[in-house]
């Protein structure tokens, strides 16, 4: 009988695995997509998912070959143009402040265009334009970010290979209506895919491994995380609120049909940052986020716990002061998931809690701290702790939600002299500098003390930063910003009221 049950379990796992679109060999590059620039590849219903990101190509094709400069092509490009980059090594940072520019790497006989930062440059792609598409690049050896979006809407980031690219791999910040799909990311010291203060984002068919955090949905809304392979990170998939940021909520997030396995990597995040507190062995972490649905994932081999649902006080943000952020996770919904072999080596606190249930293993699902209105479809399927007040959900699946992308392009953000400082802080600075809590950079309240009544001093530091503190990484120069934008954001940061509004 035991042998029959084992065979049935293996068949079930194989059937579920067959629903995913990955080649499970992590050493292989992403599969090159077709030259149809404006349609997604992948599952059968993907063509409907990119309708608001598609556009008819009417521009000019600019071709860059080994020895050329991608940035020079950006300077020549007009909205609607396509920049094709051929195999070669390009050691540069590409700044994009124009709308509707597409970057397509051309893969020839297995050779890719490679952006190599040589551990000297901070960013590979840095875009503030709308309608940006970046696909088919290898990005390696940067200190800061592989691809960072700064308040750009309607983006596609697809089929890139981002390895050892610094703090964040793919990092759209303060953007709306975007697609992140078919990328491979590894060796990132914070989050491989970091969706920060965004709305209407689909994160699909990516492979992330060997990072501190695999996929983060932070202070963002209306996000779908689906069909991703997430393994060998410290923490697999995270949906949470960081207090002290301008956007105060995370809600309406669906995490479904993902492989979340063996996320037991040693935490190598910057000491003192939020992610440095993630215990190795964490599959899915939900902190203070609301209306998060976890469905049909295979969650296995995470040594600490499969799913953690927690509040600020228990999730490492208890010292943060932000009265506008609700510290509790509300209305979390756990539907059917396949969970096996989690909790084999729990952290001390979780192990102590499980001993009260006469178990030395960590749970499949742990809920700790405040929150209300959460539900679970079948609590008896899992080993749980702290779910005593969970009810039964009134839904059995999320099949009616195929995407969170809009059915029309999001309008461009209007930037005026009046709001230039605010938009610059939201889109650029807040990724590293929150109100009173440490992210990668110094908190805003410390900056305010250092540069009180001295915005010009801040501007000078932005132009030529010096690493004055051993406990923080060096900030990259921000001299690509206009002098007007730098002064505006300095004045905005110094005027922020951290007790009432951010």
The whole-number pLDDT of residue 341 equals 96
Handedness of CA 77, 80, 86, 90 (dihedral sign): positive
Rounded percentage of the chain residues whose pLDDT exceeds 70: 86
Count Cβ atoms below 10 Å from residue 84 Cβ, excluding itself.
Answer: 19
Q: What is the pLDDT of residues 49-105, one digit of tens each?
A: 566 898 778 899 999 999 999 999 999 999 999 999 999 999 999 999 999 999 999
- For residue 379, the 8-state DSSP code is G
pLDDT at 41 over 50: no
Phi, psi of 328 (to 5 degrees): -110, 145
Pick the closest to residue 430 from 248, 267, 250, 292 (CA basis). Answer: 248
In this predicted model, which residue has the larger pLDDT, 468 or 10? 468
pLDDT at 470 over 80: no
Q: What is the pLDDT of residues 283-320, one digit of tens each?
A: 999 999 999 999 999 999 999 999 999 998 887 665 56
Count Cβ atoms below 10 Å from residue 50 Cβ, excluding itself.
Answer: 18
Pick the closest to residue 130 from 153, 104, 151, 156 (CA basis). Answer: 153
Query: DSSP letter string over 256-267?
Result: ES-EEE---PPP
Phi, psi of 99 (to 5 degrees): -90, 155
Pick the closest to residue 127 from 145, 151, 105, 143 (CA basis). Answer: 151
Global pTM reads: 0.85
Q: What is the pLDDT of residues 167-207, one digit of tens each?
A: 999 999 999 999 999 999 999 999 999 999 999 999 999 99
Q: What is the pLDDT of residues 422-469, one digit of tens each?
A: 888 877 787 788 777 777 778 888 888 888 888 887 878 888 887 777
Alpha carbons 259 and 182: distance in angstroms, whole number:
14
- For residue 154, the 8-state DSSP code is S
pLDDT at 2 over 60: no
Apex 289 CA angle, 502 and 173, nearest 5: 55
CATH of 420-495, one of 3.40.50.970, 3.40.630.10, 1.10.10.1100, 1.10.760.10: 1.10.760.10
Count Cβ atoms below 10 Å from residue 369 Cβ, excluding itself.
Answer: 18
Beta strands in 144-289 (DSSP E): 145-150, 155-158, 161-163, 168-173, 176-181, 184-186, 191-196, 199-204, 207-209, 213-218, 221-226, 229-231, 235-240, 251-256, 259-261, 282-287
The whole-number pLDDT of residue 320 equals 60
- For residue 446, the 8-state DSSP code is H
- Annotated domain spans of the chain: 31-166, 186-410, 420-495
State whether residue 495 is helix, strand or coil: helix
pLDDT at 238 over 50: yes
Alpha carbons 396 and 358: distance in angstroms, whole number:
32
218-227, 358-367, 434-443: which has the highest mean pLDDT? 218-227
Question: Helix 420-427 and helix 483-495: axis angle, to 10°?
Answer: 80
Question: Which residues on adjacent β-strands are paired with residue 479?
Answer: none
């Amino acid at each position: 009988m035991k042998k029959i049950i084992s065979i049935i379990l293996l068949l079930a796992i194989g059937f579920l695995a067959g629903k995913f679109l990955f080649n499970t060999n992590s050493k292989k590059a992403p599969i090159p997509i077709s030259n149809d620039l404006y349609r997604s590849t992948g599952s059968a219903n993907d063509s409907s998912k990119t309708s608001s990101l598609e556009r008819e190509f009417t521009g000019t094709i600019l071709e860059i070959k080994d020895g050329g400069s991608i940035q020079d092509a950006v300077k020549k490009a007009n909205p609607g143009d396509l920049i094709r980059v051929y195999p070669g090594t390009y050691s540069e940072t590409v700044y994009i402040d124009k709308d509707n520019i597409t970057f397509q790497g051309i893969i020839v006989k297995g050779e890719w265009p490679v952006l190599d930062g040589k551990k000297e440059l901070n960013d590979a792609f840095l875009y503030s334009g709308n309608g940006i598409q970046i696909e088919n690049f290898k990005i390696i050896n940067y200190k800061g970010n592989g691809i960072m979006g700064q308040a750009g809407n309607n983006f596609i980031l697809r089929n890139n290979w981002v390895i050892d690219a610094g703090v964040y791999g793919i990092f759209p910040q303060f953007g709306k209506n975007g697609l992140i799909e078919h990328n491979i990311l590894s060796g990132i010291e914070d989050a491989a895919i970091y969706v920060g203060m965004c709305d209407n984002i689909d994160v699909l068919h990516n492979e992330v491994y060997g990072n501190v955090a695999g996929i983060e949905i932070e202070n963002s809304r209306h996000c779908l995380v689906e069909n991703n392979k997430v393994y060998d990170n410290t923490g697999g998939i995270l949906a949470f609120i960081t207090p002290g940021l301008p956007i105060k909520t995370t809600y309406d997030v669906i995490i479904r049909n993902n492989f979340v396995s063996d996320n037991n990597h040693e935490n190598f995040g910057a000491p003192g940052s939020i992610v440095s507190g993630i215990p190795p062995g964490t599959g899915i972490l939900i902190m203070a986020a609301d209306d998060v649905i976890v469905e049909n994932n295979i969650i296995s081999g995470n040594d600490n716990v499969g799913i953690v649902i927690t509040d600020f006080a228990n999730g490492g943000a208890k010292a943060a002061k932000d009265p506008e952020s609700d510290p509790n996770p509300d209305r979390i919904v756990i539907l059917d998931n396949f969970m096996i072999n989690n909790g084999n080596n729990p952290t001390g606190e979780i192990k102590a809690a499980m001993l009260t249930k006469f178990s030395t293993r960590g749970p499949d699902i742990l809920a700790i701290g405040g929150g209300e209105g959460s539900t679970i479809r079948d609590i008896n399927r899992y080993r749980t702790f702290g779910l005593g007040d969970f009810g039964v959900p009134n839904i059995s699946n999320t099949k009616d939600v195929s995407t969170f992308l809009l059915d029309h392009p999001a309008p461009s953000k209007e930037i005026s002299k009046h709001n230039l400082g605010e938009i610059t802080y939201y889109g650029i600075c807040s990724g590293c500098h929150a109100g009173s809590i440490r992210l990668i950079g110094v908190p805003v309240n410390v900056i305010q003390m250092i540069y009180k009544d001295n915005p010009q001093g801040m501007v000078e530091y932005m132009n030529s930063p010096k690493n004055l503190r051993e406990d923080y990484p060096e900030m990259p120069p921000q001299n690509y910003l206009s002098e007007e934008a730098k002064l505006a954001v300095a004045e905005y940061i110094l005027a922020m009221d951290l007790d009432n509004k951010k």
